[in-house]
Structure 1
Amino acid sequence: MDLDLTADPIDLCAALVDVPSVSGEEGALADALERALRAQAPHLELLRSGHAVLARTNLGRAQRVLLAGHIDTVPIADNVPSRREGHLLHGCGTTDMKSGDAVIAHLAATLTEPRHDLTLVFYDCEEVEADRNGLGRIEREHRDWLDADLALLGEPTAATIEAGCQGTLRVEVTTRGRRAHSARSWLGDNAVHAAGGMLDRLARYRPRRVDIDGCEYREGLQAVRITGGVAGNVVPDECVVTVNFRFAPDRDVAAAEKHVREVLDGFDAVVTDSAPGALPGLGAPAAREFLAAAGGAPRAKFGWTDVARFAALGIPAVNYGPGDPNLAHTREEHVDTREITEVTATLRRFLT
């Protein structure tokens, strides 16, 4: 498919959606973006990294702004190709996040003299395990391409600035017992029942609400999975409960783990996955400038996004893009096209 990056970003979004790009299978879309950028944006330096496409200006401006969007989607759920219904554009990835990609690609081709130098990053494998994320590969192999005074991720935010992000920590809590035939249960010790005390603690847990730079982050500590038992007539001798802690970015991973272990004191807990959050970073000069251009009050980002990767590199980063994040990954995924137009206009105003 040939993409017209100078077209209305709404039409461009539909075209991007119509090129399937489930995580790990982004090659066709990356090829289309690379061809279009080479043909329609000769003012940009280009770099191909796996299924990621990067572009940048080199105008010698005082500041550099990086616009980033992942081009992969979750598995298609009978929602490709795209379809329109009034102001709504339906299809896999319309919200998460091909509408944001369309805005970035359109600006890449049409802003030839921005007042800040620009870097555009279209990357792969955001929707899967963190070690496959294309930004991680780019950081390892092409670190200089991520340098910027401000990073804007086109994640869906309903055209509102969402600052920072929560951190995440997962632990597996194991309780043990003794197997027995369920007809003679008094000879055994039920490991599933033994988990009840821990589940009661989680049910009674009252999470914090934390205000940082005017953004309220809400924490959450939840049991998200439970496994145990080997047969319908056996008292289980082991039960494993997976617990997920979404924590405010004023805690680092070590502090989050310490807190979870305090809550689960007395139980055998093993950390299986973690990622730090990101502070809002709204005090940085480029971020303040963007806030003024976008208007409105920023809010906290619930969930983890790649702003955390940029924060770890010392680069202020915020989420800003079209689409309702609550619709991401659903069969009913769609975007209000008016938000695509609004986000495009806001970014153009900021960058020119």
Structure 2
Amino acid sequence: MGRGLDLKTDVAALTADLVDVPSVSREEKQLADLVEQALRAYPHLAVDRDGDAVVARTRFGRAERVVLAGHIDTVPIADNLPSRLDADGVLWGCGTSDMKAGVAVQLRLAATLEDANRDLTYVFYDAEEIAAEFNGLKRLVERHPDWLAGDFAVLMEPTGGRVDGGCQGTLRVRVETTGRRAHSARSWLGENAIHKAAPILARLAAYEPRRVEIDGLTYPEGLNAVMIEGGHAGNVIPDTCAVTVNYRFSPDQSEAEALDRVRGVFEGFDVVLTDSAPGALPGLSHPAAAAFVDAIGTAPAAKEAWTDVARFSALGIPAVNYGPGDPTLAHTREEHVEVAAIREAERKLTAWLTG
């Protein structure tokens, strides 16, 4: 789009404007420029930028500070731009649900709440949809933790308009086997590493995942093979095989405890950790979190995924997930969001921050 963002337009129109600026991960500069330019027009906001992450903060002098955060990047476009608003009040397009509707709500609040019952920090960050090493919020935590300081945080990920507390942790391991190469015509001279992986798959099939209750929320776990690598050619007995296993674990465990559990499942095999991220406890007992749940007016649930609330939790900031949009539509060609849901999120957050 050739013009700037109007942050005081209707929140649904603002969502469409954001969607129409392509911002695939690591290609967010145009949108980050527009967000920064729009926020700097408001004198009640102090605006900072690092790379393609933009942070705006109020200085009302309130006793409590709330952080509202959302990522501005999307997955690759799937023939679903520009945005399209249908007659039923549904906005279609890449990033509508995940999560430019939530970002639009943040921007509207940043522009319209020139006074509030809490100080506010608005975080717009890049590269959430790809490897953690590129994540803009991770970069801000490492370089500018003071920009993120607060008493409570809301990550505006799509949750269908309910509050999702905490998040699962996640780790991936390679469970490896070795054998001996041979010509497949003389297979008895070799030792097949792929065949040796059969017990790994059997243990996964037999594994019974835990369901853990924390603060009244139930976190279901999952331990699954997500990839198998092995083989060299159609006439070679393979001498190596690796099964990549993803463990989604409840936030009652640390990363080290989760890894110990996985190693216990695959005792006798070589288990190599490839990546890991901690979970986050719900934190719903914090007064600000309790007030937020009351303001939203729906029963909270456990977040059945990993999200960046874990980064706030690591900073000692209780955090929840809340935003318009259906999370099951994220990353799909048919991604869309209901206009009514965007407006409801704006209304409820405004009431919470001004009531």
Q: Of 288, 291, 298, which residue of structure 2 is paired with 1:289? A: 291
Q: Displacement of 1:214 after TM fit?
A: 1.3
Aligned letter for 2:106? I
1:326 aligns with 328
Residue 6, structure 1, aligned to residue 8, structure 2: yes
Partner of 2:68: 67
Identity percentage of aligned residues: 63
AA in 2 matched with 1:276: P
Give the partner amino acid of 2:171.
Answer: L
Q: Give the counterpart letter for 2:185 in structure 1.
A: A
- Report the AA paired with residue 342 of structure 2: I
Note the C-alpha offset of 1:84.
1.4
Match of 1:29 in 2: 31
CA deviation after TM superposition for structure 1 residue 293, in Å: 0.7
Q: Of 186, 196, 199, which aligns to 1:197? A: 199
Give the equivalent residue in structure 2 for 1:245.
247
Q: Does 1:82 align with 2:83?
A: yes
Segments of structure 1 that go 5 or more residues without pairing to the other structure are none
| Per-residue CA distance 1:98-126 (angstroms, 9 max, x = gap) | 00000000010001111100100001111
Query: What letter is aligned with 1:197?
Result: P
Amino acid at match of 2:85: R
Question: Which consecutive residues of structure 2, in runs of 5 or more, have no partner in the other structure?
Answer: none
Q: Report the CA distance between 1:250 and its aligned residue.
A: 0.2
2: CA distance, partners of 1:251 / 1:158: 27
Q: Distance in 2 between matches of 1:125 and 1:220?
A: 26
Task: Identify the match of residue 314 of structure 2 among 306, 312, 315.
Answer: 312
What's the secondary structure of 1:243's corresponding residue? strand
**1:102 counterpart letter in structure 2:** A
Scaled by the length of structure 2, the TM-score of the pair is 0.97
Partners of 1:231 and 1:141 lie apart in 2 by 47
Total equivalences in the alignment:
351
The alpha-carbon deviation at position 141 of structure 1 amounts to 2.3
1:278 to 277, 280, 288: 280
CA contact under 8 A between 2:141 and 2:311: conserved in structure 1? Answer: no
Q: Which residue of 2 aligns with 1:123?
A: 125
> What is the TM-score when the length of structure 1 is the normalising length?
0.98
CA distance in 2, matches of 1:285, 1:69: 23
Q: Aligned equivalents of 1:266 and 1:140: distance in 2?
A: 38
Q: Paired residue for 1:261?
A: 263
How far apart are the structure 1 equivalents of 2:72 and 2:295?
A: 26
1:166 maps to which residue?
168
Q: Following TM superposition, by how much is the alpha carbon of 1:227 offset from its aligned partner in structure 2, in angstroms? A: 0.8
Aligned equivalent of 1:346, options 328, 345, 348 = 348
Cα distance in structure 1, aligned partners of 2:325 and 2:304 = 15
CA RMSD in angstroms comes to 0.8
Report how far residue 140 of structure 1 moved: 2.3
Structure 1 consecutive aligned stretches of length 4 or more whose deviation exceeds 3 Å: none
> Aligned partner of 1:346: which letter?
K
Counterparts of 1:176-215 in structure 2, within 5 Å, are: 176-215=178-217
One-letter amino acid matched to 1:61: R
